[in-house]
Amino acid sequence: MKTLLITLHSINNPGSALQAFALDRYLHRIGVDNQIIDYRPVYSKLGKNKIKGIIRIIFFAHNEFAINKKYSTFIKEKMHCTTKKFYFFNQLFHGLPKADIYISGSDQLWNTDYDCGCDKAYYLDFIKDGQKISYATSVGKSYISDNQLKELCLRINNYKFLSVRENSTSRLLSQALNREVEWVCDPVFLLDKDDYIQMCNENQYGKYVLVYLSKASILLDQVLEYVKGVYKWSIIQAGGSVKRCECDIHLKNVGPFDFITLIKNAQLIISSSFHATAFSHIFHKNFAVILPEKNGERIISLLELTQLESKIIHSEYDLQNLFFEPNYDEADTKLEAFVNKSKKYLEESILGDRYD
């Protein structure tokens, strides 16, 4: 069985790179000959805010070069990509190898707040003959307007199998399409902890609190002040061109290997990131979530599943929850059942009688 996967694999975001790696690796593990379509749309390097993206590239060119090198190395070493790169949608009609099944992968491919959600490529519109499936594709938000929902349904109704990453999206699309849209786990959960441990480096920083992707805010300052009042751990901010908090170390050029290493070795992870939360589960770390202003649905969906909603810090009144260690015995039981169900769905969609 040969598959072609399109996903966000080449943007400089560790979660995106790691989920692409994990789905590609798992497909090969179950005997599928998969390739990631090396689609690198020109908008992808700038991010959502194009002006900030241009400023970042111009004024932090040295850092951008270092980050690009880390991601290029990760893709080259860890992913099976097509030999040809594609930069525009129209190029995808020519030069793609043939496949039995075409897959829209995970991450926020269908979030219309981002360019990718408005890009026909991530709905596999360039495929006219062949079976289409989605795996853990994310809309990323709890509210979708009627017009957005109608447009999304038109774009994906010809998929053979549909699965998404948020429970709320599963319910919404199942009702709108009048068909089953499965809720499945993010691809990073398809692999074992040991798959990631062997990619980690040694701890260089002693005991530290890791801050990742949380915007500067009064609440973030309160969290860090509370932690520093109890422990003498260093504060490390990972990523970002500028400091977002009072930290001892600011690591700007963080690649995928750095990301999982920092989470594995941290005493506490504070983030607004789904994948930082996911890897906190995988490595059994203490963590706290400051929900992002938008697109927090995927984090909430995970924490409702593992019953760790108490790790969300809504206000200063939740600060005492920082030091309650997550109950991973119960969380693992619920997550393992969910992951096994997701694996079965993916395998049957590609290899089983449901495809036949």
Question: DSSP character for 266?
Answer: -
- pLDDT-wise least confident of 37-51, 186-200, 251-265, 331-345: 37-51
3-state class (DSSP) for residue 188: helix
Give the pLDDT score at 52. Answer: 64
Query: Do the domains spanning 2-191+336-350 and 195-325 agree at the CATH topology level?
Result: yes
Structure tokens at 89: 């949608």
Q: Counting Cβ atoms within 10 Å, is residue 289 exposed (0-12), middle (13-18) or buried (19+)?
A: buried
354: pLDDT strictly greater than 70: no
CATH for the stretch 2-191+336-350? 3.40.50
Q: How far is the C-alpha of 3 from the C-alpha of 131, rounded, in Å?
A: 10
User: Model confidence over 1-26: pLDDT tens digits?
Assistant: 999 999 999 999 999 999 999 999 99
207: pLDDT strictly greater than 90: yes
Q: Counting Cβ atoms within 10 Å, is residue 336 exposed (0-12), middle (13-18) or buried (19+)?
A: exposed
Could you tell me what percent of the chain has a pLDDT over 90? 82
Domain ranges of the chain: 2-191+336-350, 195-325
Mean of the per-residue pLDDT values of the chain? 93
Q: How far is the C-alpha of 233 from the C-alpha of 152, rounded, in Å?
A: 46
CATH architecture classification, 195-325: 3-Layer(aba) Sandwich (3.40)
User: Model confidence over 24-40: pLDDT tens digits?
Assistant: 999 999 999 999 999 99
Residue 53 and residue 45 in contact, taking contact as beta carbons nearer than 8 Å = yes
Q: Helix axis angle, 274-282 relative to 297-306, nearest 10°?
A: 20
Any residues with CB less than 8 A from the CB of 224 and at least 6 apart, and which? 209, 211, 235, 245, 246, 270
- The set of long-range contacts for 282-289, using a CB threshold of 8 Å and a minimum separation of 24, is 282/188, 282/189, 282/193, 282/196, 283/193, 283/196, 284/326, 284/328, 286/322, 286/323, 286/325, 286/326, 287/311, 287/326, 288/223, 288/312, 288/313, 288/321, 288/322, 289/313
Give the pLDDT score at 311. Answer: 97
User: Model confidence over 235-282: pLDDT tens digits?
Assistant: 999 998 889 999 999 999 999 999 999 999 999 999 999 999 999 999
